[in-house]
Amino acid sequence: MSKKVIIIGGGIIGLSSAYFLQKEGHNVTIIEKSDITSGASFVNAGYITPSHIIPLASPGMIAKGIKMMFNSASPFYMKPRWDTEFFKWSWYFHKSSTKEKVDRAIPVIKDINILSRELFEDIKTSGDLGDFQLERKGLLMLYKTKEAYLHEKEVADKASFLGLEVQELDQKQLERLEPGVAIDAKGAIHYECDAHSTPSQFMPKMVTYLKDIGVAIKTNEEVLDVKVKDRRIHEIKTSKETYTADEIILAAGSWSGKISKKMGLDTPLQGGKGYSINVERPTGITIPAILMESKMAVTPMEGFTRFAGTMEFSGLNDLVRNERVMAIANGAKKYYPSVDINTKEIANVKTGLRPVSPDGLPYIGRSSKLENLTLATGHAMMGWSLGPATGKLVAEIIDDKKTSMNIDAFSPDRRF
C-alpha cells in the first residue's frame, strides 16, 4: 500500500531512503534545511568500508579525548565547554567503550557495510544515476611505526576471521602496488574488500534522479515545530509550510538530536566535525589510504585527490580551525613527500558534521514512542558507506517487511 512519507534530511541517508521508498511505490517528500550542495555527505572520504569494523566508542578513546582536549590540532578533539547534553553523551560514550560491547558490534558493522557495498554496486548497475565513480581498489592502512602496525594487525586478524579480504604489504610490495607516487611508510595493511567513490559526483546525480521520478525535494527549509498527539506525529511545521504524512523518517544527520526533542524524544547525538582538502592536480595516488599516525584519509576521486580527517566535537557550527587544516596538509606530506598542498587548496578547505551516537552505531528503526516515526541517523564516520543499506532498511521497515539483516543493535530505544 502506497504511503505518504516525509524524510527530514537530504544527506546521503535521506536520499538513499527516498530512492528505495520511491521504488516501493510510496509518495516521498524530502525536507532539507540546506540547498544540498555541502555538508558531510559532500566532503567525506568517499569510503565504502567493510573493513571499518571497530566503532568509534572503543576502549581508550575517552582517555585519548581528554589527553587531546587541550590541543586543538589533535586528530580527536573535544572542545572544553559547559554543555549538559555533551556531558551526558560523553558519559554514555564512556560506558559504551568496553571490549565486550565492541566485540558485539563488530559483526553487525561488517554485515551492514557489506550490504551497503552490494547496494552501491546495484545502483551503479541499474543505470538510474548514469555513470559515477565506484571503484574497488581496497584501502591501504599506511604505518610508520611498529606500534601502529601491531594495532592494525589486531583489527586485520579480526577482519580476516570474519571473511574479509586482507593482505599485508612490505615497502617493496607497496611500491609495486602504488608506483606513481613516493610513499614514506614501513608498510601497509591492504583491505581489498573496500571500495570508494566521489560523493560530490554521486549526490547531484541522486538528487536529479529522485526529482525525475517524482520525489518532492524541499530545500532551504528548516523544521521549526512538530505536532505530536496520541503517539503519532500529526504535523511538521517548517520555515515555509506545514506538512502531514503517514510516515516520518528522521535522517537529519547531526541535527537529528535537536529535531527529536521537538518530537518529545531524547536521542543522544553529537556532531563530529571533519575537514577535507581537494587537490585538483595529478598526485600519482591511485589507491585510497588511511595515514595511521596522522589519522587522516586520502582518496583518489573523479578529477581530484581528497585529503580528509579529524574528529572535532565543538558543537553544531561550521567554524574552521586553521591549526586542524594545517595538521591535514602536514600529515599528508609526511607520507607522500612529493605531494605539496598549496595555500590556495588549503584556503578552500571544507567541513562537515557527522552525527555520532554514544556507541558509534547508527540509530535505524521505529521509535517505540511514536508509531509513525523511523529514525535513520547517528552513523558517525560511516555515513557515506552505510547510505544505501540504511535506505534499503528504512524502506523495509516502512513496508513492514523482514529486514535484509538483523537491526536490533541499531534500535533507537537502546540504553547506554
**Bridge partners of 374?**
249, 366
Beta bridge partners of 313: 78
What total number of domains does the chain contain?
Answer: 1
Query: Confidence class of residue 69 from pLDDT cuts 50, 70 and 90?
Result: low
For residue 58, what pLDDT band results from cuts at 50, 70 and 90? confident
Number of Cβ within a 10 Å radius of residue 176: 9
How far is residue 225 CA from its own chain's centroid? Answer: 27
Does residue 133 fall inside a structural domain?
yes
Q: What is the pLDDT of residue 63?
A: 65
CA distance 359 to 62: 12
**Is 108 part of any domain?**
yes
CA trace torsion 364, 126, 299, 390 (10° rounding)? 0
Predicted confidence band of residue 65 (pLDDT cuts 50, 70, 90): low
Query: 208: domain range?
Result: 4-410
Report residue 79's pLDDT band, with 50, 70 and 90 as the boundaries: confident
Kindly state the percentage of the chain with pLDDT values over 90.
Answer: 88
* Pairwise CA distance, residues 128 & 167, whole Å: 34
C-alpha cell at 214: 517524482
Residue 415, in any domain of the structure: no
Q: When comparing pLDDT for 402 and 70, which is higher?
A: 402
94 found inside a domain: yes
Cell of 65: 579525548
Task: Say if 416 falls within a structural domain.
Answer: no
Give the whole-angstrom CA distance, residue 409 versus residue 85. Answer: 23
Euclidean distance between CA atoms 145 and 153, whole angstroms = 12
Q: What angle do CA 376, 382, 384 make, to 5 degrees?
A: 80
Q: What is the pLDDT of residue 66?
A: 62
| Residue 291, strand partner residues | 142, 296
Distance between CA atoms of residues 312 and 328, nearest Å: 13
For residues 251 and 313, is the Cβ–Cβ distance under 8 A? no
CB 355 within 8 A of CB 402: no
Residue 207 lies in a domain: yes
pLDDT bin (cut points 50, 70, 90) of residue 127 is: very high
CATH code of the domain containing 379: 3.50.50.60
| 265 — pLDDT class (breaks 50, 70, 90) | very high
In a domain, 307, yes or no: yes
- Confidence band, pLDDT 50/70/90 cuts, at residue 49: very high
Q: β-strand 166-170 against 187-191: which pairing, if any?
A: antiparallel
Q: What is the pTM of this model?
A: 0.96
The angle at the Cα of 322, spanning 318 to 328, to the nearest 5 degrees, equals 100
> Residue 238: which H helix or E strand, with range?
strand 232-238
> Mean pLDDT throughout 153-162?
94
Does 171 map to a domain?
yes
Which pLDDT does position 77 carry in this prediction?
Answer: 76
Which single residue is written with the C-alpha cell 565543538?
314
pLDDT in tens, 293-338: 999 999 999 999 999 998 888 889 988 889 999 999 999 999 999 9
